[in-house]
Structure 1
Amino acid sequence: MNSPNDQLAYWLGRSALSRKELARRVQSKAQEWGQPNIAPNATRVRRWLEGEKPRVPVPDVLAGVFSEHFGWRITTYDLGLGEGSSTEAALRYDPSFAATVEVVADLGRADVNRRKFLAAAPFAAVAGVGPSRDWLLATLDQDPEPGPRVHIEDVLAVKNMFATFQKMDVLQGGGSGRLVLAEYMNHHVYPLLRRSHDEAVRRALCEAAAEQTYLLGWMAYDNGEHSLAQRYLIQSLRLAEESQNAPLGAHVLAGMADQATLLGNPTEGRRLAQAGRQGLSRVDSPACLADLWCLEARALALLDDKVAATRAVVQSERAYARADSGAGPDWAEFIDPAYLHGEHANSMRDMGDAKAAEEHANRSIEHAAKQNRARRGAMSHAALAVSHLQRGDLDGAYSAGLRTLKLSGQVKSSRAVEAVQDLQRRMEPFGNDRLVADFNERARELVAA
């Protein structure tokens, strides 16, 4: 037996519409949306109130009816009808700025409320292709909704918060603090996007919102929540386009490339990294360019194109040599030797070049230790351990592996845990050696958690 839908009843009562009038408006709205076969009556509305779930796309039509009636956004979730189409909407690169604001706000609220659709929604393997193309080609003509004017001081306050949350991610892992950031975005940032601004403030606000939406996606990615991460990153890319900040958009594409490659699609990872580089053709952002070449190298290594991968690593190092430390935007702060050498170590590992992997891993470890970056240190120690295994040095791998475990335990990062699991798999050929058994025993608690 269905439970009464108290949320739908609340909004119907607040609207003062009769069941018959609501049915008439749903039919009218459905016709506007090209759905002439949707024609409910008062009896059907009563059944919805009693808990019957209307078929798709009726929940979205109902949300449209109530939004139009009240003059502000009412979602299917507000009406007790689930998420409607918001899961898929977050994968789209909408040309409408107003629609983008609503999608990213819905996504942030769903994230905070931990609703099941986010956990169940799959990572869409090629969803980044369209957004990366549109970011390069689209022109924009949408304005935010009117309201109290936003001033540059409001934007500066948002940008100041970014550095705080980014350091939390870098030092503690993506699983630490993301929901706090999502709450902050939902209550303080996304509402600003709906208000009026002059052009300079609007662009600065979209830039700040894009930075923090990217960070939400990156933190979800680091915590292993890939479907959520993908949706945040796509919406961040759209906001970055609105800001007209090409390096920021390229930075978002770098994150999308990293995720695609990690999840077993290096071909798309390479495409996304290339799109980011193309977007930098008219501006100079050495750190971002170094990152994009670095991630292209990662993808090429997995595609077994060793010559191109090695060339990409060299291009990454050349680009970073031109970077002016401390002069770039906050989001570029941690595109640095600790990060780049760590990723180069992974590329060399995947190409089977144990000596080069060890060299890059050690350089990354040195820089990460100076900054107390446990996550980066853990991942680079794991790469170092693998380089030892590739040379048959189990003792060296065991020592580096123990340091990986110690550092991984200091952060909330699924990527660090996955590095431990990868190391366990690579130790399997050594059979029941006591060092393997001891490492697996020590890793058990971390992996189980």
Structure 2
Amino acid sequence: MQLEGLLARSGWSRGELARQVRTLAFERGEHHVRPDASSVRRWVDEGEHPRPPVPALLADLFSTRFGYRVTTYDLGLGDASAVDRSLTYSASLDETVEAVADLGRADVDRRKLLAAAPFAAIAAIGPSRDWLLNTLDQLPDERQTVRLEDVTAVKNMFGTFQEMDIFQGGGSGRLVLAAYMNEHVYPLLRRSHTEEVRQALCEAASEQTYLLGWMAFDNGEHGTAQRYLIQALRLAEESKDAALGAHVLAGLADQATLLGHPHEGRRLAQAGRQGLSKVNSPACMADLWTLEARALAAVGDKVGTAQAVNAAEHAFANVVPDKEPEWAKFIDEAYICGEWANAFRDLGQPEDAAPHARRSIAHARNQNRARRGALSSAALAVAHIQNRDLEAAHAAAVRTLNLSSKVKSSRSVEAVRDVRSRMMSFGPHPLVADFNERSRALLVA
């Protein structure tokens, strides 16, 4: 039985494994789950299958222990759950559709298992490799032209949900989008269609599945976000849209770096750029170079960061907004300059961070984009803190707080928390105390 082998590799005794399962179950509110060493003996020696949610708990424990994703299937405890399956980049479109549909249902139902699902740092590396190899090998498939009204209706909805994310934050409309996908989009993928319709439908489904992942990312639900993004990458491959797949990899790269895995983030950004070798997408290329800059900044590589930002600026100069796909609309001066500011902030170079932050803030203000304005105002506040200018930092921090209160975005809240923490370096100053008091309500909520 696979469980026996994994237990031996882990170095845990049977009693210790039982204790780990009880602890994790208690953290997730599953207080009735109380296995002991005898329970583990029955699982290992007698082949007894523990009842849910124990298989999923075991999978998460071994995943954390080994540093890669272990599924319930790997444990020999039946088919992978919806949470496990959505980390798998399947060769089958049918399996992909079932995995992402199960994930959507779990998301809408707000199941505890999905809410507590961990982010697996290296889970996206394999999918990025498979997407890149398969994309570069694809050849055009000329077949009969068919009617695309259903696909057009799906694509028309994308702009609505994207604007909801941009202006209200990822926590605002994701469950509405998930319900829409479950009821209207994923069922279409199960029907028979011509090759042209299939590719177009996979493209539309990939765009919106990516958006589901990005909304979860923005709301701090990283396990859920990663699973949506991996399935979006698989659907993008099926659509034969290399730029869209590279865009999904950009999201995975951003997430990996944010969660403290910049080396994985850089590899994902590089895979995305390689996938763009046969297509022209300046906006996506600028984004991927920017995310590589963020990853390099996170490891303190000043020369590499500057080179990546320069490459991003060169690519961005070639962007013609009307020629870019709708999913690339957010890659504008408000976004791109804000990310450059964050990169230089992370390097402790306020003289480089501040101009980019101000440029981002100005564009975000013109577009009424509170989330982007909050993130860039936070970068500016940190630049002022690094320059030891408390008055300017306080003013930028208050703008960050005011803008963050207008959107439902955990990233904006974390930006406020970060600024507040950094301001403590000024000691018991009245402006520090003032910002602590102003921000208390948002951070507590």
Of residues 366, 374, 380, the one that matches 2:376 is: 380
Q: Which residue of 1 aligns with 2:425?
A: 429
What TM-score does the superposition give when structure 1 sets the normalisation length?
0.80
- 1:270 paired residue among 266, 274, 277: 266
Q: Deviation of residue 240 (structure 1)?
A: 0.2
Distance 1:54 1:342 in 2: 42
Secondary structure in structure 2 of the residue aligned to 1:176: helix
Instruction: Give the number of the structure whose alpha-carbon radius of gyration is greater.
Output: 1
What is aligned with 1:330? 326
CA RMSD for the aligned pairs?
2.2
User: Which residue of structure 1 aligns with residue 280 of structure 2?
Assistant: 284
Aligned to 2:385: 389
Matches within 5 A, 1:38-117: 85-117=81-113
Alignment of structure 1 residues 20-39 onto 2, 5 Å = none
Equivalences for 1:163-182 in 2 at 5 Å? 163-182=159-178
Q: 1:448 to 1:249 in 2, by over 3 A?
A: same
Residues 1:192 and 2:188 are matched in the alignment: yes
Partner of 1:443: 439
Shift of 1:428: 1.4
Distance 1:292 1:266, change over 3 A: same
Normalising by structure 2, report the TM-score. 0.81
Q: Cα distance, 1:138 vs. partner?
A: 3.0
| Distance in 1, Cα, partners of 2:322 & 2:339 | 21
CA offsets 1:195-227 (integer angstroms, 9 cap, x no match)? 011111100000000000000000000000000
Give matches, 1:351-370, under 5 Å. Answer: 351-370=347-366
Give the one of 204, 213, 219 matched to 1:217: 213
- Once the two structures are TM-superposed, the CA of residue 360 in structure 1 deviates from its matched residue by 0.1
Q: Helix, strand or coil for the counterpart of 2:178?
A: helix
In the alignment, structure 1 residue 245 sits paired with structure 2 residue 251: no
Residue 125 of structure 1: SS of its match in structure 2?
A: coil
Query: Where does the alignment leave 5 or more consecutive residues of structure 1 unmatched?
Result: 1-36, 41-47, 58-75, 142-149
**Residues 39 and 444 from structure 1, CA distance in 2 versus in 1: closer, same or farther, beyond 3 angstroms?**
closer
Instruction: Return the alpha-carbon distance in structure 1 between the equivalents of residues 229 and 93 of structure 2.
Output: 16
Structure 2 Cα separation of the partners of residues 138 and 379 of structure 1: 36
State whether residues 82 and 106 of structure 2, in contact with CA within 8 Å, keep that contact through their aligned partners in structure 1.
Answer: no
CA displacement 1:214-261 (0-9 Å, x = unmatched): 000000000000000000000000000000000000000000000000
Q: Show CA shifts across 1:274-323 (max 9, x none).
A: 00000001111000000000000000011111101100001001001001
Q: Distance in 1 between matches of 2:123 and 2:48?
A: 34
- Measure the CA separation in 2 of the matches of 1:84 and 1:200: 32
Matches within 5 A, 1:291-306: 291-306=287-302
| Change beyond 3 A, Cα 1:39–1:118 | closer
Whether the 8 Å CA contact 1:151–1:197 is kept in 2: the answer is no
**1:56 CA displacement:** 5.6
Deviation at 1:85, TM superposition (A): 2.0
Aligned partner letter, 2:298: L
CA deviations 1:1-24 (Å, max 9, x no partner) are xxxxxxxxxxxxxxxxxxxxxxxx
Q: Given the superposition, is the C-alpha separation of residues 391 and 86 from structure 1 closer, same or farther in structure 2, using an over 3 Å criterion?
A: same
Pairwise CA distance, 1:54: 10
